[in-house]
Amino acid sequence: MMIIMSGAIGAGKSNLTQILSDHLGTQPFYEPVEDNPILPLFYADPDRYAFLLQIYFLNKRFKTIKEAMVHDNNVLDRSIYEDSLFFHMNAEMGRCGDKEVGVYDELLANMMEELPYCAYKKAPDLLVHIDVNLSTMLDHIKMRGRDYEQVENDASLMDYYKNLLDHYKPWYQEYDASPKMVIDGNRYDFVNNLEDRKDVLKQIDDQLLALGKLSKEEYDHLMEKIRDMSL
């Protein structure tokens, strides 16, 4: 099966991707961030680099989901299905012009049309969306310590982060490429709290069972793994 994560910056997607892939015994795929040469440039000058950054991400996400779709089992920490959210938000903020929007939308549409022809699987099996509020988001951003993401270094990021959270609500409601579920990232500290981690994994396993993606035997085995789990 292919499971994709979604959620705002700092929601915990990469951490849950690793936790879930270890739990299911599948392959994780991660968004290129640490080795992304455009991302620091974008934070320094978003008006100049917004379009270039989204084209960079779109290309990487297209490559990743093509690879994931031809493998049997995997978890992606972000997918091509979220890309438009970021680009159009930046366009609304005046960081991209109409010509850039037209080029991006046409390129994304062409890529999405190609996916069924270059992969065995036409769509993900499940979207796991991690919902966080601004406070949780900022705490996570501070903990991971990337200088260019800190509001202390750039006060304008506060409005950017608020705007991003506002865009996720309608995006999740409209997403229809696969079954979907929400994990409450404000309530569950699945990184540091063992019981929270177990609860989150069980919620996902329950959903996979209900969707017919797990057999009863596979589900029971995973429940045993959860009971025996330690941090």
Choose the catalytic residue: 77, 154, 166, 189. 77
Rounded to the nearest 10 degrees, the angle between the axes of helix 83-92 and helix 46-69 is 170
Distance, in Å, from the CA atom of 213 to the CA atom of 208, rounded to the nearest integer, reads 5
161 appears as a binding residue in the annotation: no
54 appears as a binding residue in the annotation: yes
Dihedrals phi, psi of 188, to nearest 5 degrees: -105, 120
Rounded to the nearest 10 degrees, the angle between the axes of helix 194-210 and helix 13-24 is 70
18 appears as a binding residue in the annotation: no
205 appears as a binding residue in the annotation: no
Helix (H, G, I), strand (E, B) or coil at 75: strand
Q: Mark whether 77 is an active-site residue.
A: yes
Distance, in Å, from the CA atom of 210 to the CA atom of 144, rounded to the nearest integer, reads 35
| Active-site residue list | 77
- Binding-site residue set: 31, 43, 54, 78, 83, 149
Binding-site residue positions for substrate: 31, 43, 54, 78, 83, 149
